[in-house]
Each structure stands twice: as structure tokens, then as C-alpha cells.
Amino acid sequence: MAAFKGKAVVSQSGGPTVVINASLVGVIEEAAKHAEITELLGSKHAVRGMRDNQFVKLSGLDPQMLEVLAQTPSSGLGSSRDKPDAAYCQAIFETFKKNDVKYFFYIGGNDSADTARIINEMAGQANYQMRAVHIPKTIDNDLRNNDHTPGFGSAARFVASAFMGDDLDNRSLPGVKIDVVMGRNAGFLTAASTLGRSYPDAGPHLVYCPEVPFDTKQFVQDVQAVLDRLGRCLIAVSEGISDSNKKEIAAVLVEQSGKAVERDSHGNVQLSGSGVLGDELADLVKKQVKFQGKPRVRSDTFGYLQRSFPGVNSSVDLVEAREVGRLAVRWAVQEDHSGTVLIQRASAGSYKAEFKKGKFEDVARTARHMSREFLNEKGNDTTQAWKDYALPLVGELPKITVIV
């Protein structure tokens, strides 16, 4: 099929990452190379900008500025948590037609892939010539059919570094420390807590991911055992842990303590932007674990720093995030591609990413969980297979040493 001319829209959706603007810059620099793209527009605040005709021109930007933008965390175009229904998507398609938009590049997670699919299908049904490409992004690493997703490596690097430091902190002033990590229903980011362990007995000593039902009794026993052995215990807990009935542990513990559970507009317990899970787990340890009378117990909830801290990024992640942006444009213009960009891994030799064309359906809607082989049998630590998988994505971590 011959290439066709028209404007292009690029947009960024969902939770920000440290490298999401690298993908944006990849789109910008590649679009500039193709005469088929007559103008590149950035939609402000994702679907909202597309619905409300709120665009910013992204042509002719200073190359040096683009290099700074590529390293700037969070969505430069703004983001949105709107989940567009059919009417919303129709409004977007109307805006596209009105502006002669023929190419649509959507940087986001599985929900965004589905939105791109719907708009692409609307164009098909209307015989409107258009290409839509989803560009993967999520710190949660939960897109199906991908080895990993841009944003994850840098967030994992932040988490791994944070645990290295907090382990040294907890070694210096021993006690029980609980750190709550992002990732919703996938444990990848929590598992990253172990990547910086570099000496015997280095923490975290216990790791709880959402892939394994969380048992508060077993948790207390685990903490007691580590404390008896080492005199300290550093714990990584995913914000998304839930019990065997799939009830969020944050809600379970809050209810047990007789307080009201706060839920967001979707009915979910608010996981991020609140210290409740960590505080409740700390209370549990204070009440039920014995150590020289009363153990020193603290919790930190890492929060948004994990997805937006400037200067802490994985170079592999930065490079790949930019590349998926470039490929989305090239494949749309030159190879007639509508769908997603998949990241897979060369099966032999040292780490190498392979980029492949995928269908929207390969990633849209449902999210993936972490493979069980990445967690030990008891479900409270990671395995060597996890390290082999994750370390190349995170890059070399800061060197540390211990002397006593």
C-alpha cells in the first residue's frame, strides 16, 4: 500500500515514567524525517486534548531542547486517567477528521492500547485512511507479550537503589523496616528490591508480591524468624498484595483495626499516595513480633518518586523508550502498521532487545502478572532466574561496601 500524507498526533497516557518523554522525542525526531507527516501535534492531557481539540505543535523544536526533554521525567504533554467510552472515542475521531490527522501515536499501557484500537477501528469503518500505533509504557511492567516495558527499568533501578540504601540504614540502626513498592497487581517492581543485594545477609530479607496470596500469620512468622537470626529485618511489600480471597491487605488490616476503608471512584482501595498499608503492617509487627521487648519498627511508602525521580534512570531503558517511539512512526509511515510495538529479548547470548510489530490485542485490556519462577517456593523472596531477567534492564547499580 502506498504511503499517504496527513497530520500526526502523539499523546501520553496514564501514570508517568522517567523515560516516557524519551518515547515522545523518538516520535518527534522520526516524524521530522518523513514527508508523509505534514505536521506533528501533541495532544494535551492525553484523550482530553484529543476530544477537546487541545494540541501543541511539535515541529521545529530545538534539538538540544529535545535531548533535555528526553531525560525529563513525567509526561511532557500532560496525562489523564479518563477511560474513554465509545462516545468519547467518537469525539476523538471527529477531532482527528477535522484536523486531517492520519497518524496517531499513543504512548501508554494496556488501556491506552485498547483506546488506540477502538479509534483505529472507527477509522476503518468510516473508510478513513489512518494508522494508529500504541507505544508501550508502564513502570508496572505488566503488558502481555512483551519481555518488559519502557519505564520499568528506570523505576526498578530506583527501587533497587532505594533498598540498597535502606538496607545499609537498617544495618546501622537495626530494627524492622517495611517499604511499600508500586506496581498494582504485578510484582515486578517489588521484586526489583533484591537486585542490589551485594553482601551476605543483605536485605531485603523478605519480599511479598501480589502474585502470591498474602497471609498475615505467615508474614509475622517470617519476620520473627529473620529477626531472631539477624537482629534486623528489611521487608519489600507490593502495594497490591491481597489475601487468598483477593481482598487487598490494606483493606483487610484497616477493617481489622476497626477503621473505615477509603476507596477511589473505581471502588479500589487507594494504593498510592497514602501510607496506610505500610503503617498497618508496622502496627501488626509491633503487636505480634517479639524482640528484646519491643522491636524498632518503621515503614516507608516509596510513592511517586519511583516513577518520576530525575537523574535516576537506566540507560538501556532510555535507549529502548526512544527506539519504540521511532519505530512506531517508521512502521506506520513505511510499513503500513497499525498496532503496537512489542519488546522481546534475543534468546541467545548477552542481553539484546528485539522490537516486533504486534496487534493491539496482544497488549490491550488485561495485564500480565509476574512469572512464578521469579519467586521462591515460599513466595517471600526472588530467585536467580529473576536476577538473570531483570539486571540487564536496570544497569550497573552504585557500588557499596560494608566493613563490620
Q: How far is the CB of 164 from a second copy (least distance, A)?
A: 5
Q: What cell does 89 get? A: 472515542
Measure the CA–CA gap between 381 and 227, rounded to whole angstroms.
16
Nearest by Cα to 249 from 206, 226, 297, 217: 217
17 vs 382 by CB, closer to a second copy: 17
Tell whether omega for the bond before 204 is within 30 degrees of 0, i.e. cis: yes
Q: Is 161 strand, coil or helix? A: helix
Q: How far is the CB of 349 from a second copy (least distance, A)?
A: 29
- Under the binding rule (CB under 8 A), the answer on residue 102 touching a second copy is no
Classify 261 in phi/psi space as left (phi over 0), alpha (psi -120 to 50) or beta.
beta
* End-to-end CA separation in angstroms for the chain: 68
Q: How far is the CB of 229 from a second copy (least distance, A)?
A: 17
As to burial, measured by CB atoms within 10 angstroms (0-12 exposed, 13-18 middle, 19+ buried), residue 168 is middle
Spatial contact of 4 and 102, defined as CB atoms under 8 Å apart: yes
Q: Is 239 strand, coil or helix? A: coil
H/E element, 20? helix 20-31
Q: How far is the CB of 385 from a second copy (least distance, A)?
A: 25
- Under the binding rule (CB under 8 A), the answer on residue 80 touching a second copy is yes
> In the chain, count of helices (H) and strands (E)?
14, 11
Give the chain's length. Answer: 404
Site string (187-226) toward a second copy, x via CB under 8 A:
----------------------------------------
Phi and psi at residue 370, to the nearest 5°: -75, 145
Number of residues located near a second copy, criterion CB under 8 A: 65
**Exposure pattern of 270-304 as b/e (b: 16+ CB <10 Å)?**
ebeebebbbbbbbebbeeebebeeebebbbebbbe
300 vs 361 by CB, closer to a second copy: 300
- Under the binding rule (CB under 8 A), the answer on residue 169 touching a second copy is yes
120 vs 161 by CB, closer to a second copy: 161
- Residues 230-289 binding a second copy (CB under 8 A) are 272-276, 278-279, 282
Bridge-based pairing state of the strands 37-43 and 55-57: antiparallel
Site string (292-321) toward a second copy, x via CB under 8 A:
-----xxxxxxxxx-xxxxxx---------
Q: Which of 26, 73, 136, 295 binds a second copy (CB under 8 A)?
A: 73
Count CB atoms within 10 A of the CB of residue 401.
7
Spatial contact of 206 and 233, defined as CB atoms under 8 Å apart: yes
Spatial contact of 139 and 183, defined as CB atoms under 8 Å apart: yes
Q: Which stretch binds a second copy (CB under 8 A): 62-70, 125-133, 333-341, 352-360?
A: 62-70
Spatial contact of 76 and 61, defined as CB atoms under 8 Å apart: no
- Under the binding rule (CB under 8 A), the answer on residue 52 touching a second copy is no
- Under the binding rule (CB under 8 A), the answer on residue 399 touching a second copy is yes
Q: What cell does 100 get? A: 486531517
Q: How far is the CB of 331 from a second copy (least distance, A)?
A: 25
Which of 111, 114, 140, 167 is flagged as catalytic? 140
Q: Which of 162, 316, 332, 363 binds a second copy (CB under 8 A)?
A: 162
140 is catalytic: yes
Q: Which of 6, 39, 52, 69 binds a second copy (CB under 8 A)?
A: 69
54 vs 218 by CB, closer to a second copy: 54
Q: Which of 114, 140, 166, 323 binds a second copy (CB under 8 A)?
A: 166
Q: How far is the CB of 372 from a second copy (least distance, A)?
A: 30
75 vs 120 by CB, closer to a second copy: 75
- Under the binding rule (CB under 8 A), the answer on residue 323 touching a second copy is no
Q: How far is the CB of 273 from a second copy (least distance, A)?
A: 3
- Under the binding rule (CB under 8 A), the answer on residue 108 touching a second copy is no
Residues that bind a second copy in the complex, under the rule CB under 8 A: 12, 15-16, 18, 42, 44, 56, 58, 61, 65, 68-69, 71-81, 161-162, 164-166, 168-169, 171-173, 177, 272-276, 278-279, 282, 297-305, 307-312, 397-404
Catalytic residue ranges: 140
